[in-house]
Amino acid sequence: MSNPEFAIETRALTKRFGDVVANDSVCLKVRAGTVHGIVGENGAGKSTLLKMLFGFYQPDEGEVVVDRTAHTFADPSAAMKTGIGMVHQHFMLVEPFTVLDNIILGAEGSAKLEDARATARGALAALERQFGFNLPLDTVVEELPVGVKQRVEILKALYRGAEILVLDEPTAVLTPQESEQLFALVRQLRAEGKTVLFVTHKLHEIMAVTDDVTVMRAGKIVAERKTAETSTGELAELMVGAKVAREKTREAHGERVIRLSLKNVSANNDQGVRALKAVSLDVHDGEVLGVAGVAGNGQTELMEVITGLRQVAAGSVEFDNVVIASPDVATNPITLRRMGMAHVAEDRLKTGVVESFSAEDNAMLGYQREPDFSHRGILKLKALAETAKRYFESQDVRPRNPKLAISSFSGGNQQKLVIAREIARDPQLMIIGQPTRGVDIGAVTKIHDQITELRNAGKALLVVSADLDELLAISDRIAVMCEGELVGIVAVEDADEKTLGLMMAGEKRRAS
Amino acid sequence: MAAARKLPFWADNILLPALNLLAAFVVSGIVIWALGDNPFQALSLLVQGAFGYQEAIGYTLYYATNFIFTGLAVSIAYHAGLFNIGGEGQAMVGGVGLTLGVFAFGPHAPLLGVFAGIVGAALFGAIWAFIPAWLQARRGAHIVITTIMFNFIASALLAYLLVGPLHRPGGQMPESADFPAGTALIHIHDLLGMMGISYDNNPMNISFLIALLCAWGMGFLLWRTRFGYELRVVGKSAGAARFAGVSVSRMTIIAMMISGALAGLMGLNELLGEQHRLLANFTLGYGFVGIAVAFMGRNKPLGIILAAILFGALYQGGTEVAFDIPNFSRDAVVMVQGLVILFAGAMEHLFRDPISLLFWRFAERKAA
Amino acid sequence: MKKTFGRAVLSLAASIVMSVTAMAADFKPVVLYDIGGKFDKSFNEAARVGADAFKAETGIAYREFEPRSETQYEQALKRFARRHADLIVAVGVGYAVAVRNVAKEFPNVKFTVVDAIVDLPNVQSITFKENEGSFLVGMIAAMKTKTNSIGFIGGMDIPLIRRFERGYKQGADYVRKDLTFTENYVGTTPSAWNDPIKAAELAKSQYARGVDIIFSAAGPSGLGVIQAAKDAGKFAIGVDSNQNYVAPGTVLTSMMKRVDLAVHRALAQAKDGTWKPGHTVMDLKDGGVDYALDKYNASLITPEMKAKLDEARAKIISGELVVGDVAGSNTGR
Q: Which tens digits make up the pLDDT trace of B285-326?
A: 888 889 988 988 889 999 899 989 988 988 888 888 877 776
Highest mean pLDDT among A42-51, A395-404, C229-238, C293-302: C229-238
Comparing CA positions, the residue from B172, B169, B174 lying closest to residue C163 is B172
**B91: in domain:** yes
Q: Under an 8 A CB cutoff, do B172 and C160 touch?
A: yes
- Cα–Cα distance, B232 to B248 (Å, whole number): 11
Using a cut of 0.90, tell me whether the model's pTM lies above it. no
Residues of B in contact with A333 (CB under 8 A): 242-245
**B83: in domain:** yes
Cβ-contact A461, A289 below 8 angstroms: yes
Q: Best of A307, A351, A364 to disrupt the B interface by mutation (most B CBs within 10 Å)? A: A351
Distance from CA of B270 to the nearest CA of A (A): 34
- Cα–Cα distance, B217 to C253 (Å, whole number): 62
Q: What CATH number labels C130-253+297-318?
A: 3.40.50.2300
Q: Under an 8 A CB cutoff, do A351 and B224 touch?
A: no
| B 238-257 → A contacts, CB under 8 A | 239-240, 242-245
Give the model confidence (pLDDT) of B44-86 as tens digits.
Answer: 888 888 898 888 899 999 999 999 999 999 999 999 999 999 9
| Residues constituting chain A | 512
First to last CA, chain C: 56
pLDDT for A421: 92
Comparing CA positions, the residue from C305, C5, C329, C315 lying closest to residue C138 is C305
Give the model confidence (pLDDT) of B83-136 as tens digits.
Answer: 999 999 999 999 999 999 999 988 888 889 999 999 999 999 999 999 999 999
**B322: in domain:** no
Give the model confidence (pLDDT) of C154-167 as tens digits.
Answer: 988 888 888 899 99
| Strand-pair category, A164-168 with A84-87 | parallel
**Residue A397 — very low, low, confident or very high, per pLDDT cuts 50/70/90?**
confident
Q: Under an 8 A CB cutoff, do B245 and A334 touch?
A: yes
By CA distance, what is B270's nearest residue in C? Answer: C71
- Cα–Cα distance, A308 to A103 (Å, whole number): 42
Distance from CA of B31 to the nearest CA of A (A): 36
pLDDT at A167 over 60: yes
Cβ-contact A501, A482 below 8 angstroms: no
- Cα–Cα distance, A510 to A164 (Å, whole number): 41
Distance of CA B268 to the CA centre of its chain: 13
Of B236, B239, B244, which is closest to A368 when you measure between CB atoms?
Answer: B244
Check CB contact of A404 with chain B, cutoff 8 Å.
Answer: no
Residues of A in contact with B233 (CB under 8 A): 354, 357, 365
- A&B contacts, CB < 8 Å: 67
Domain C24-128+260-282 matching CATH 1.50.10.10: the answer reads no
pLDDT for A497: 73
- Cα–Cα distance, C282 to C279 (Å, whole number): 10
Q: Under an 8 A CB cutoff, do B174 and C331 touch?
A: no
Q: Best of B7, B231, B237, B254 to disrupt the A interface by mutation (most A CBs within 10 Å)? A: B237
Q: Under an 8 A CB cutoff, do C116 and B55 touch?
A: no
Of C65, C66, C70, which is closest to B281 when you measure between CB atoms?
Answer: C70
Q: Under an 8 A CB cutoff, do B275 and C64 touch?
A: no
CB-neighbour burial class of residue A99 (10 A; exposed 0-12, middle 13-18, buried 19+): buried
Pick the range with the lowest mean pLDDT from A88-97, A437-446, C171-180: A437-446
Range C308-329 average pLDDT:
82
> Residue B133 belongs to what domain range?
55-307
DSSP assignment of B273-340: III-S-BTTTTTTHHHHHHHHHHHTTT-HHHHHHHHHHHHHHHHHHHHHHHH-TTS-HHHHHHHHHHH
Considering only CA atoms, give the Rg of chain A.
24
Of C8, C82, C157, which is closest to B40 when you measure between CB atoms?
Answer: C8
Cβ-contact A83, A162 below 8 angstroms: yes
- Cα–Cα distance, C2 to C11 (Å, whole number): 14
**B340: in domain:** no
Distance of CA A505 to the CA centre of its chain: 17
Give the angle subtended at the CA of B161 by the CAs of B156 and B164, to the nearest 5°: 120
Give the model confidence (pLDDT) of B173-212 as tens digits.
Answer: 778 888 888 888 888 888 888 888 888 878 889 999 999 9
Q: Under an 8 A CB cutoff, do B168 and C97 touch?
A: yes
- Cα–Cα distance, B349 to B337 (Å, whole number): 18
Range C316-331 average pLDDT:
76
- Cα–Cα distance, A68 to A81 (Å, whole number): 15
* Comma-separated ranges of CATH 3.40.50.2300 domains in chain C: 24-128+260-282, 130-253+297-318
**Residue A504 — very low, low, confident or very high, per pLDDT cuts 50/70/90?**
confident
pLDDT for B62: 93
Q: Under an 8 A CB cutoff, do C188 and B159 touch?
A: yes
Check CB contact of B225 with chain A, cutoff 8 Å.
Answer: yes
Give the angle subtended at the CA of A376 by the CAs of A371 and A377, to the nearest 5°: 90
**B44: in domain:** no
Phi then psi for residue A508, to 5 deg, are -135, 130
pLDDT at C1 over 90: no
Q: Under an 8 A CB cutoff, do A357 and B232 touch?
A: yes
Cβ-contact C161, C217 below 8 angstroms: yes
**Residue bearing the bigger pLDDT, A251 or B237:** B237
Average pLDDT, chain A: 84
Check CB contact of A343 with chain B, cutoff 8 Å.
Answer: yes
Comparing CA positions, the residue from B307, B312, B270 lying closest to residue B292 is B307
Q: Under an 8 A CB cutoff, do B173 and C190 touch?
A: yes
Distance from CA of B77 to the nearest CA of A (A): 17
Check CB contact of C159 with chain B, cutoff 8 Å.
Answer: yes
Residues in a beta bridge with C253: C237
Distance from CA of B115 to the nearest CA of C (A): 23
Q: Under an 8 A CB cutoff, do B44 and C116 touch?
A: no
Q: Under an 8 A CB cutoff, do A309 and B242 touch?
A: yes
Q: Helices B248-264 and B110-139, interaxial angle, to 10°?
A: 150
Of C68, C101, C333, which is closest to B330 when you measure between CB atoms?
Answer: C68
Q: Under an 8 A CB cutoff, do B229 and A355 touch?
A: no
Cβ-contact A436, A43 below 8 angstroms: yes
By CA distance, what is A307's nearest residue in B? Answer: B243
Residues of B in contact with C69 (CB under 8 A): 281-282, 284
pLDDT for B276: 87
Topology adopted by domain A6-240: Rossmann fold (3.40.50)
DSSP assignment of A237-253: HHHH-S---GGGG-PPP
Check CB contact of C7 with chain B, cutoff 8 Å.
Answer: no
Residues of B in contact with A60 (CB under 8 A): none
Comparing CA positions, the residue from B276, B171, B283, B167 lying closest to residue C93 is B171
- What is residue A351's DSSP assignment? I
**B186: in domain:** yes
Check CB contact of A272 with chain B, cutoff 8 Å.
Answer: no
Residues of B in contact with C70 (CB under 8 A): 173, 175, 279-282
- What is residue A170's DSSP assignment? T
> What residues contact B28, with CB distance under 8 A and at least 6 apart?
B39, B335, B336, B339
Domains in chain B: how many in total? Answer: 1
Average pLDDT, chain C: 84
- So what's the ipTM on this one? 0.79
By CA distance, what is B155's nearest residue in C? Answer: C189
Give the model confidence (pLDDT) of B216-235 as tens digits.
Answer: 999 999 999 999 999 999 99
User: In the Cβ-directed half-sphere of A148, how many Cα atoms lie within 13 Å?
Assistant: 14
pLDDT at C262 over 60: yes
The ranges assigned to domains in chain A are 6-240
pLDDT at B264 over 70: yes
Of A335, A337, A353, which is closest to B240 when you measure between CB atoms?
Answer: A353
Check CB contact of C32 with chain B, cutoff 8 Å.
Answer: no
- Cα–Cα distance, C217 to B137 (Å, whole number): 48
Distance from CA of B242 to the nearest CA of A (A): 7
> What residues contact C274, with CB distance under 8 A and at least 6 apart?
none
Regarding chains A and C, contact by 3 or more CB pairs under 8 A is answered as no
Chains that touch B (3 or more CB pairs under 8 A): A, C
Q: Under an 8 A CB cutoff, do B169 and C333 touch?
A: yes
**Residue A133 — very low, low, confident or very high, per pLDDT cuts 50/70/90?**
confident
By CA distance, what is B227's nearest residue in A? Answer: A377
Cβ-contact C172, C196 below 8 angstroms: no
By CA distance, what is B52's nearest residue in C? Answer: C13
Residues in a beta bridge with C214: C151, C236
pLDDT at A415 over 80: yes
By CA distance, what is B223's nearest residue in A? Answer: A379
**B22: in domain:** no
Q: Under an 8 A CB cutoff, do B225 and A379 touch?
A: yes
Q: Under an 8 A CB cutoff, do A379 and B229 touch?
A: yes
Give the count of beta carbons closer than 10 Å to the beta carbon of residue A149.
Answer: 19
**B152: in domain:** yes
Handedness of CA B344, B349, B350, B355 (dihedral sign): positive
Chains that touch A (3 or more CB pairs under 8 A): B
| Strand-pair category, C110-114 with C123-128 | parallel
pLDDT for B56: 87
Residues of B in contact with A309 (CB under 8 A): 242-243
**Residue B345 — very low, low, confident or very high, per pLDDT cuts 50/70/90?**
low
Q: Under an 8 A CB cutoff, do B243 and A356 touch?
A: no
pLDDT for A440: 67
- Cα–Cα distance, A217 to A259 (Å, whole number): 37
Check CB contact of A127 with chain B, cutoff 8 Å.
Answer: no
> What residues contact A177, with CB distance under 8 A and at least 6 apart?
none
